[in-house]
Amino acid sequence: MRRIADEFDLDIRHRTFVLQASPAEMRERWGAPEETRKTILDHWLGCRALSDRPEMIDIDAMREASFDYPHGHTAALACKAAERLGGQDAHWTMFDRIQRAHLSLALNVADPGILLRIGGEIGLGPSALAAAMGDPETERAVEADRHRARAFQICTIPPAHRP
């Protein structure tokens, strides 16, 4: 995506389309944590089958992880906080690193400590990132993106094909 943006001089605006913002929302949609994990990992199997880099999606590691499947809200806060600190490029970089941590390394991306570590690795000060993640303005930005996703009827990422 970055190559395409550079090649065609595109100005891409990143959004945080959180589908389930808490363990409670995940239970409401899919049931028990085990069922949630199975359903979501089945989705990732489909994504891996279509990916040009399937080796980046380690289903087995995610299946064996010792924590419940993570909701997306904390990671969304981290991406929006990164954006507030460093613009769209920081958002994009944070998102990419979170995806790698989740899909390749099977880390719990709902854990703020992991997200702060990732932020530090990409040059964002952990204390500045933590402050931005806890700022009500960041929460409002995440919720605004979530509202946008609902308006577009996005219910999966990547979005499911609708006839």
Question: What is the pLDDT, as a whole number, of residue 5?
Answer: 85
Question: What is the pLDDT, as a whole number, of residue 154?
Answer: 79
Question: What is the pLDDT, as a whole number, of residue 18?
Answer: 85
Q: Which of 120, 107, 23, 108 is nearest to 81 (CA)?
A: 120
Is the domain 12-151 a CATH 3.20.20.70 member? no
Question: What is the pLDDT, as a whole number, of residue 162?
Answer: 43
Question: What is the pLDDT, as a whole number, of residue 160?
Answer: 53
Q: What is the pTM of this model?
A: 0.88
Question: What is the pLDDT, as a whole number, of residue 2?
Answer: 82
- Amino acid at the residue 155: C
Ranges in the chain, pLDDT < 50: 161-163
In which residue are the tokens 């577009």 written? 152
DSSP string across 35-83? HHHHHHHHHHHHHHHH-S-GGG--HHHHHH-SSPPPPSHHHHHHHHHHH
Question: What is the pLDDT, as a whole number, of residue 163?
Answer: 41
Distance, in Å, from the CA atom of 20 to the CA atom of 110, rounded to the nearest integer, reads 12
Question: What is the pLDDT, as a whole number, of residue 158?
Answer: 59
